[in-house]
């Protein structure tokens, strides 16, 4: 029998309380120009209401957040959505600044059960991310369908996008699938930034990782890739644990 902490230590080492992650990200980015008044924040998390407190943390430091969210935190808003967010950014010193925070999410139970959570008002166990659990169920049954479904757009797009990164017959566990989803989200973010951001006139920062819901309301964030692009130069920064 495992434990929540064992899964964190083995699979998501360096995870921080999400409030601490957001505060430290702000402290790291403000000296690079990404202050509240000079920046628009854009947040792409799962639509799940248990993801929402992290959005509020971002709003708490950057003052607002353009909503990029789709099921599982996938980025399906496209160029139109990215350009809309960027057009809302303030100008300061002739430049605009965007901060992108993107992440899939996973619940982990007290005994280390992947996907397990409890929701207020429900007596039985629940799961997160439900979209990834649903896809995993299809993979386990050997009947994952990647066709676009007009009545299930986000889920069918999610499946098609993730299946590009799975070997035929490969069935990851939920933690592995969540980490893979995080990589795909980051790749999609960077592709969309390449298509829509003019680094001659705009600076941006990328914050990626995995949002983790633990027992008794624990809310953690596992920091993945993060960096800033300031006046066309990539700047690394550290978020201390």
Closest CB 32 distance from Zn ion, rounded Å: 31
* Nearer of residues 46 and 186 to Zn ion, judged by Cβ: 46
* Nearer of residues 68 and 204 to Zn ion, judged by Cβ: 68
Closest CB 117 distance from Zn ion, rounded Å: 10
If one asks whether residue 106 binds Zn ion (CB under 5 A), the answer comes out as no
> What φ, ψ does residue 78 adopt, rounded to 5°?
70, -175
Closest CB 215 distance from Zn ion, rounded Å: 18
Among residues 138, 212, 219, which one has the least CA distance to residue 175? Answer: 212
If one asks whether residue 114 binds Zn ion (CB under 5 A), the answer comes out as no
* Nearer of residues 96 and 208 to Zn ion, judged by Cβ: 208
CA distances to 18, 47, 82, 217, 221 from 51, in Å: 11, 7, 21, 12, 11
| Residue 92 exposure: Cα atoms within 13 Å on the Cβ side | 14
**Region binding Zn ion by CB under 5 A among candidate stretches 41-49, 178-186, 193-201, 203-211:** 41-49
Sign, CA torsion 37/235/78/164:
negative
- For 194, the token pair is 């390449």
- Counting other chains too, the contacts that 165-171 makes at CB distance below 8 Å and 24 or more residues apart are 166/139, 170/139, 171/136, 171/139, 171/140
Residues 6+ apart with CB under 8 A from 4: 108, 109, 110, 111, 112, 214, 215, 218
CA distance 24 to 123: 36
Q: Among all chains, which residue has been given the structure tokens 């005994």?
A: 111
x/- string (CB under 5 A) for Zn ion, residues 120-149? ---------x--------------------
User: What is the footprint of Zn ion within residues 42-61 (CB under 5 A)?
Assistant: 46, 48
If one asks whether residue 182 binds Zn ion (CB under 5 A), the answer comes out as no
Closest CB 67 distance from Zn ion, rounded Å: 15
If one asks whether residue 74 binds Zn ion (CB under 5 A), the answer comes out as no
Closest CB 47 distance from Zn ion, rounded Å: 7
If one asks whether residue 102 binds Zn ion (CB under 5 A), the answer comes out as no
Total residues interacting with Zn ion, rule: CB under 5 A? 3
Residues lying near Zn ion in the complex (CB under 5 A) are found at 46, 48, 129
């Amino acid at each position: 029998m495992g434990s929540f902490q064992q899964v964190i230590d083995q699979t998501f080492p360096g995870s921080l309380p999400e409030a601490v992650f957001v505060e430290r990200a702000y402290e790291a980015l403000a000296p690079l120009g990404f202050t509240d008044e000079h920046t628009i924040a854009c947040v792409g998390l799962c639509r799940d209401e248990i993801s929402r407190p992290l959005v509020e943390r971002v709003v708490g430091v950057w003052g607002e957040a353009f909503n990029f969210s789709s099921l599982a935190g996938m980025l399906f808003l496209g160029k139109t959505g990215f350009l809309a967010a960027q057009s809302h950014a303030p100008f300061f010193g002739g430049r605009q600044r965007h901060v992108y925070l993107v992440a899939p999410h996973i619940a982990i139970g007290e005994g280390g059960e992947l996907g397990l959570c409890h929701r207020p008002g429900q007596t039985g166990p629940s799961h997160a991310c439900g979209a990834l659990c649903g896809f995993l169920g299809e993979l386990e049954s050997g009947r994952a369908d990647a066709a676009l479904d007009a009545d299930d757009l986000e889920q069918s797009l999610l499946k098609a996008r993730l299946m590009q990164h799975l070997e035929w017959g490969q069935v990851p566990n939920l933690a592995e699938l969540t980490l893979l989803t995080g990589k795909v989200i980051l790749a999609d973010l960077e592709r969309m930034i390449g298509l829509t951001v003019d680094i001659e006139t705009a600076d941006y920062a990328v914050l990626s990782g995995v949002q983790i819901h633990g027992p008794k309301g624990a809310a953690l964030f596992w920091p993945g890739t993060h960096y800033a692009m300031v006046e066309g130069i990539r700047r690394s920064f550290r978020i201390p644990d």
